[in-house]
Structure 1
């Protein structure tokens, strides 16, 4: 019976990473999650703030998430080459989306909604692709699914009602941030138990 050959393995296997790389990924996921929670609370607490302030907050989130993703791709040597390249490319896309959102917050509600929706879809796809085969897998999968769903909702929601975008955005940021924080605590835990058992 022949075994299937995996051409591109894009998952992050904590057992192939050094202890410092696992810690770096955990810190990166945790920082991204905390930033999302804080920005989500700000968005929901001050929904009446101007659109430009909200756009800058969303832009900052995408900028930070993109930088974290690029850093993971550059400095995590235990990941496969394909995953490192994917992390860098997706990170660059998020950085570009963040810059566009920050630089042009009031140009068009449609453009702002599209940038936010597309950015969440990109982040969700990346999260689904990168899920680790350990106890953090379900949190990574949940984060990816929520991110994609929120992105699609934002793309399909008529942007005449910016209130919908603000509420969806704030709720998504808090939910995804909490999931990322939990994922940061669970990432690599199974690999520690496996290593200890050997």
Structure 2
């Protein structure tokens, strides 16, 4: 029952998930388009993306609060995103290593939350692997960033760009699947009891 409520909340908020995906793709394309920019400018791009992603997650949590399904994972993701965005704007001159670690742990935590959601929804939806794969991609990205923080700014820009585009595309695909679920569930939810 909890998984059904979670699926209902996710499917009703499929547009916010799509927006998160689009923001990630845009951020990734910008990282590819300007790989030679200073890490400070890249940090500001990341800050804008993290802030938008966090706000979208908080809006989804707010909209889903009426149900009995816990919204704390979305609130946690949202608060982490907003905090990452604000911290990046307040201290853009952070060292490359500190910024990379911040991004790495942010991706790691988001990935773990998405894998947990995919496991919880595995019996409720088809292709839950999309959510799990985006989470695994985030975890892998975070681990790689922690393991090799000394990579040059150009390599970091390409890694971040590739991660963001892949993550964003997976979120967009997930949102389209959730829209189908929402369309399928709408008649059931509005039918008289």
TM-score tier (shorter): 0.7 to 0.9
- For 1:93-104, list aligned pairs within 5 A: 93-104=80-91
Structure 2: runs of 5 or more not aligned:
none
1:13 to 1, 6, 15: 6
Does residue 162 (structure 1) correspond to residue 153 (structure 2)? The answer is: yes
Alignment match, 2:134: 143
Structure 1: runs of 5 or more not aligned:
1-5
Question: What is the deviation of 1:130?
Answer: 2.4
1:51 to 28, 39, 59: 39
Inter-partner Cα distance in structure 1 for 2:83 and 2:98? 14
Higher RCO structure (Cα 8 Å, ≥6 apart): 2
Q: How does the TM-score come out when normalised to structure 1? A: 0.82
Inter-partner Cα distance in structure 1 for 2:146 and 2:4? 28
Inter-partner Cα distance in structure 2 for 1:118 and 1:191? 32
Does residue 87 (structure 1) correspond to residue 74 (structure 2)? The answer is: yes
Alignment match, 2:175: 184
> Retained in 1: the 8 A contact 2:11–2:182?
no
> Retained in 2: the 8 A contact 1:65–1:94?
yes
Q: How does the TM-score come out when normalised to structure 2? A: 0.84
Inter-partner Cα distance in structure 2 for 1:79 and 1:130? 16
Inter-partner Cα distance in structure 2 for 1:102 and 1:156? 26
- Aligned residues, how many? 185
Q: Which moved more, 1:50-59 or 1:101-110?
A: 101-110
Inter-partner Cα distance in structure 2 for 1:60 and 1:185? 24
Q: 3-state DSSP class of the match of 2:106?
A: helix
1:32 to 20, 23, 34: 20
Root-mean-square deviation (Å): 2.5
